[in-house]
Amino acid sequence: MTAKDWREQVDELLGRASRMRHGETKVMALEEASRLADAHGDLDLAFEVRDELIDAATFGGFPDKALVAFAWCRAQAKKNPERFESDLLLWKQKWVVGRLDDFPHISRKQILDALDDIEQTYARVDAGKRAIHKLRYQAARDLGDEAEAQRYWDLWINAPRDHLTDCRACDLDDEIDHHIDLCEYDKAVEKARPILEGRSSCAEIPHLTYGSVLYPLLKLGRLEEARDCHLRGYPMISRNRDFLATVGEHIEFLALTDNLSRGLTLFEKHLGWALDHASWRDRFTFHMAASFLLSRLVAQGHPSVSLRLPKALPLHQPEGSYPSRELHGWVETQAQEIAARFDTRNGTDRFQKLLERTRSLDRDVYPFPINAAPK
């Protein structure tokens, strides 16, 4: 292959990727482009392609690939500071560090070290503290350190905005999650109002928010609004595996409102994502919701379900008939095992508490029909 041939191939891959929505196909195109650049020793092109790959993997549901691409780019920027501008990676470093606790094999110390590193990096460019306080708050919350989470929440929420601060829509969405964690459902829904009314948005908002507010709205008895959030929100996330956890929130809502057939449709469609998704935390959220859905089927006396599930599923049945109890047991076990891995890493019981919450959801069931078909 001549220099012209392989370079044209890279240009074609980049052009194709630019026209794609975020997802596996786009990530694969950029990975192939990076391999070609590596194979032909074009360091500048390899950096350019991986810079795009970080974006595609981050927003396409492949946080592990984003981490690898970022690590490569940052190493090159440190090795060749006159050739690669490290400031270009500042925003992406925030994305990557914010997802480290999704992986239970990454130790608590490694996560805290990465937070120290990004704080030092941001200080060198005279950035404010707001972005760092938010990252530390989110890490403490996810690790189950409630006192630290509250401390950094107070620091984050009062810190002034700067050029490395998340957009207002993203900040609002994360504030909503905080209030939901504290069972402050009125505050969460009120905070969501600018997003739900279309006055605040970004690349992933309101996609995430529609899923987040489903349970608060149900708890407040605002079922029509919850139904509308489901009907508007699910089509926005149904084709992007980055939203696996949000799919779980929609499944939970459908189980809570006794729309079990509709919930099974979502379970059938998205289980493949959960089987191999890099984010163990997102897998956990999906499996918890699926466990609750299947427990409702068992409780209502459905001995079996007919589903077209992925061949990668250990219980896979070619004829598509699954005993409800057996399928529920498998999904429940997945959630339990993931919870144990996280709690062992974290040294807390946060994930066990999340399991216990799901197991007590029967008390919140409120049948409410949803007639529109899922898209």
Q: Locate the domains of the chain by residue range.
A: 1-84, 89-166, 183-375
| Other beta carbons within 10 Å of 186 | 11
Per-residue pLDDT, 258: 97
Distance CA 100, CA 351 (A): 16
Crossing angle for the helix pair 63-79 and 24-39, to the nearest 10 degrees: 30
What are the angstrom distances between the C-alpha of 296 and each of 7, 219, 255, 256?
Answer: 55, 18, 7, 9
Contacts with 249 (C-beta within 8 Å, 6 or more apart), sequence order: 211, 212, 214, 215, 285, 289
Per-residue pLDDT, 86: 81
Distance CA 155, CA 295 (A): 41
Per-residue pLDDT, 221: 97
Task: For Cα atoms 339, 343, 345, give the angle at the middle one, nearest 5 degrees.
Answer: 120
Q: Under DSSP, is residue 314 helix (H, G, I), strand (E, B) or coil?
A: coil
| Other beta carbons within 10 Å of 313 | 16
Series of mean pLDDT values for 10-residue runs along the chain (375 residues): 78 95 95 96 96 96 97 95 88 96 98 97 94 98 97 98 94 97 98 96 96 98 97 97 98 98 98 97 98 97 97 96 98 98 98 97 97 64
Per-residue pLDDT, 238: 97
- Segment holding 237, helix H or strand E: helix 223-237
Per-residue pLDDT, 374: 57
Per-residue pLDDT, 2: 60
Per-residue pLDDT, 85: 82
